[in-house]
Structure 1
Amino acid sequence: MDYRRLGRSGLKVSELSFGSWVTYGNQMDTKAARECMAAAWDAGVNFFDNAEIYANGKSEEIMGAALKELAWPRVKYVVSTKFFWGITEGPNTKNTLNRKYLMDAIDGSLKRLQMDYVDLVYCHRPDPNTPVDETVWAMHDMIERGKALYWGTSEWDAKSIRAAYEFAEKYRLRAPVMEQPEYNLLHRKRVEQEYAPLYKDFGLGLTTWSPLASGLLTGKYRNGVPAGSRGALERMKFLLPQLTDKAANEAVGKLEAVAKDLGGSVAQLAIAWCARNSQVSTVITGASRPEQVTENMKAAALIPKLDAAAMKRIEDITRPVSAA
């Protein structure tokens, strides 16, 4: 496992990381989470991603309990959380990045995680109803008070990220360091085109999510929706049109030959392809069993094998079906 700087910061994160979205509090309890995190740790992972909204706070509770049982030195690992949607009802606790919500939300997350601070905190979506200067000041103060070390954004458009950075720079405040966008072989435009000026201008780092396109790039949906898969979950049925797309699944079938030639699976190839992008600091993976974690982490061995010839083969197969 290699370690990369998070944007222009001095913080180093493992090129592959482990996240709790979908699984923690829904498919996994503390024991299962601890086993998966231990498997990731053994593979060299040092970054564990979370969010307030995941399982309405339960995901943070599970990760916090698992980390307490694992008892790793705090300086050895990186933990994140994210704020925007909120988990309680009220005019200042839902779909906002106002100062009142943010300063309360971080205290709630730290309590659930059983931590004194988180390493990374994200504004989980942009808030058109709160002035960006209010949000930047709140995130600056959160860091100044020692409750977080770095802050960033998730699924913000480039214009909004630039506005936040330029305001922070003007007033010498803590500026956003990283963005967490979806990025995979079928979802590429934002990372590869929209954000391109931000890498050069601000040194924006990326902690990308959904490298397997919600499981489509594993190949498991080529013959329908298997029982026990993400697509079979009632609350994930909105993904079915994407997961069962005929052209995309045919492309996945063609990728199998490329993966085989490189000595890996289609899933490992898809993860490695994301990490092959030099702008990506870390690729967040997910799993519900330790065996899945171990298999995903083998993708690290494929990254150096993705030479120009392999990348062209992948490009020729996937570019025609890349939706965004």
Structure 2
Amino acid sequence: MHEVVSGMTRIGNSDLDVFPLSLGGNVFGWTADRDASFAVLDAFIDGGGDFIDTADSYSAWVPGNHGGESERIIGEWLASRKPRNVVVATKVSQHPEFTGLSGSNVRRAAEASLTRLGVDAIDLYYAHFDDETVPLEETVPAFGQLVDDGLVRHIAVSNYSAERIREWEDITTRLGVARPVAVQPHYNLVHRNVVEETIIPVAEEFGLGLVPYYSLASGFLTGKYRSTDAEGLASPRAAGAAKYATEAGLRIIDALEEIGAAHGASIASTSLAWLRAQPTVVAPIASARTVEQVPDLLAGARLELTAEEVETLNRVSEWSPARS
């Protein structure tokens, strides 16, 4: 299990010690307006959180938005609250005005993110999605230059294959530039196999910390969708959760409920605790639209499952319908 010291975890080989849960900023400017976002951020920080995850593209998919809405809200909140020792991660490659990972685009996108966030340096800067139209020999030194110039403290990759992560690492060695410290994959109790078979071994090899997204499987792992007819639910997230509401998926929910009950913990908290117990995992990402959703996330960062409980969840989720 990942070592936790004084309730904090270290992100890979970096000097960033964070609360072992990252608050997802994808909802800010989407399903949470500015006031709701401020309230969620306040509750997260007041509860001991200090690690916020966003991207320059959040939430360009919303009609009337242009991208950068989440970063702007977080920047306004940082300016208003002036919290101490908060770690902010953001990403590049998907903003409509800054698409892809050419060297010049990486620089321009980082400068735009710095402006929106209102910070001197981005703590953790991810390549959001692999851009195979641009050679890594161009992308990697562009990220390294951001670190050398003080615009970014640490770099990371998201949604990269093990092979491409290894290639990135080889180039950093050859060029002597900053190495990634983290990798952000899609990983949870109903989506395990690719990460466990390919990404975790690479993370172990290179000392990368895992910061998984979709930690609660679009809300399915909160236990909110307990019926195999979840397709009938109308919310935007329900469609994402519905595909897991099979007999096999609901067995996982039942196991989470039983184990959580032994700790006085919710299904969501127990699911996050299982993820934290996996090798190299630093801090799962989970988002909250409302203040009422924050306590379960905070509890998930503090709940320690026994080895037997982790193994029970490993076993019940091994043949999940979503394995891929």
Whether the 8 Å contact between 2:190 and 2:244 is mirrored in structure 1 is no
Whether the 8 Å contact between 2:36 and 2:290 is mirrored in structure 1 is yes
In the other structure, the counterpart of 2:323 is 323
Deviation of the 1:238 alpha carbon:
5.8
In the other structure, the counterpart of 2:172 is 168
Residues 39-78 of structure 1: CA deviation (Å, up to 9, x unaligned): 11122211111101111111111111111111113xx111
- Are 2:47 and 1:25 aligned? no
Q: How many residues align?
A: 310
Residues 146-185 of structure 1: CA deviation (Å, up to 9, x unaligned): 1110001001001101111111111211111111111111
- Are 2:314 and 1:311 aligned? no
Deviation of the 1:249 alpha carbon:
2.7
- What is the identity, as a one-letter code, of the residue corresponding to 1:24? F
Residue aligned with 2:101, SS: coil
Alpha-carbon distance in 1 for matches of 2:246, 2:68: 33
Whether the 8 Å contact between 1:16 and 1:45 is mirrored in structure 2 is yes
Deviation of the 1:31 alpha carbon:
1.8
Alpha-carbon distance in 1 for matches of 2:285, 2:134: 29
In the other structure, the counterpart of 1:264 is 265
- What is the identity, as a one-letter code, of the residue corresponding to 2:25? S
In the other structure, the counterpart of 1:80 is 89
Whether the 8 Å contact between 2:9 and 2:18 is mirrored in structure 1 is yes
Q: Structure 1 stretch 100-109 or stretch 190-199: which is displaced more?
A: 190-199
- What is the identity, as a one-letter code, of the residue corresponding to 1:323? R
Which structure has greater helix proportion?
Answer: 1
In the other structure, the counterpart of 1:294 is 295
Alpha-carbon distance in 2 for matches of 1:300, 1:8: 21
Whether the 8 Å contact between 1:225 and 1:232 is mirrored in structure 2 is no
In the other structure, the counterpart of 2:276 is 275
Whether the 8 Å contact between 2:182 and 2:209 is mirrored in structure 1 is yes
Whether the 8 Å contact between 2:218 and 2:238 is mirrored in structure 1 is no
Question: Where in structure 2 are the equivalents of 1:141-156 lying within 5 Å?
Answer: 141-156=145-160
Cα 1:318–1:14 change in 2 (3 A) is: same
Cα 1:316–1:213 change in 2 (3 A) is: same
In the other structure, the counterpart of 1:61 is 72
Percent of pairs with identical residues? 31
Alpha-carbon distance in 1 for matches of 2:231, 2:42: 27
Cα 1:188–1:289 change in 2 (3 A) is: same
Alpha-carbon distance in 2 for matches of 1:174, 1:291: 40
Alpha-carbon distance in 2 for matches of 1:77, 1:159: 32
Alpha-carbon distance in 1 for matches of 2:182, 2:106: 18
- Are 2:44 and 1:43 aligned? no
Whether the 8 Å contact between 1:30 and 1:63 is mirrored in structure 2 is no
Alpha-carbon distance in 2 for matches of 1:8, 1:286: 26
Structure 1 unpaired stretches of 5+? none
Deviation of the 1:278 alpha carbon:
3.7
- What is the identity, as a one-letter code, of the residue corresponding to 1:167? I
Alpha-carbon distance in 2 for matches of 1:8, 1:188: 24
Structure 2 unpaired stretches of 5+? 1-5, 60-66
Alpha-carbon distance in 2 for matches of 1:146, 1:113: 15
Alpha-carbon distance in 2 for matches of 1:226, 1:196: 33
Compute the TM-score of the two structures, normalised by the length of structure 2: 0.89
- What is the identity, as a one-letter code, of the residue corresponding to 2:269? Q
Alpha-carbon distance in 2 for matches of 1:64, 1:297: 22
Whether the 8 Å contact between 1:34 and 1:67 is mirrored in structure 2 is no
Residue aligned with 1:121, SS: strand
Whether the 8 Å contact between 1:80 and 1:118 is mirrored in structure 2 is yes
In the other structure, the counterpart of 2:254 is 253
Cα 1:286–1:78 change in 2 (3 A) is: same
User: RMSD value over aligned CA atoms?
Assistant: 2.0
Alpha-carbon distance in 2 for matches of 1:196, 1:33: 32
Whether the 8 Å contact between 2:203 and 2:210 is mirrored in structure 1 is no
Deviation of the 1:225 alpha carbon:
4.5
In the other structure, the counterpart of 2:62 is none
Alpha-carbon distance in 2 for matches of 1:197, 1:244: 30
Alpha-carbon distance in 2 for matches of 1:255, 1:294: 17
Deviation of the 1:215 alpha carbon:
0.4
Compute the TM-score of the two structures, normalised by the length of structure 1: 0.89
Deviation of the 1:262 alpha carbon:
2.6
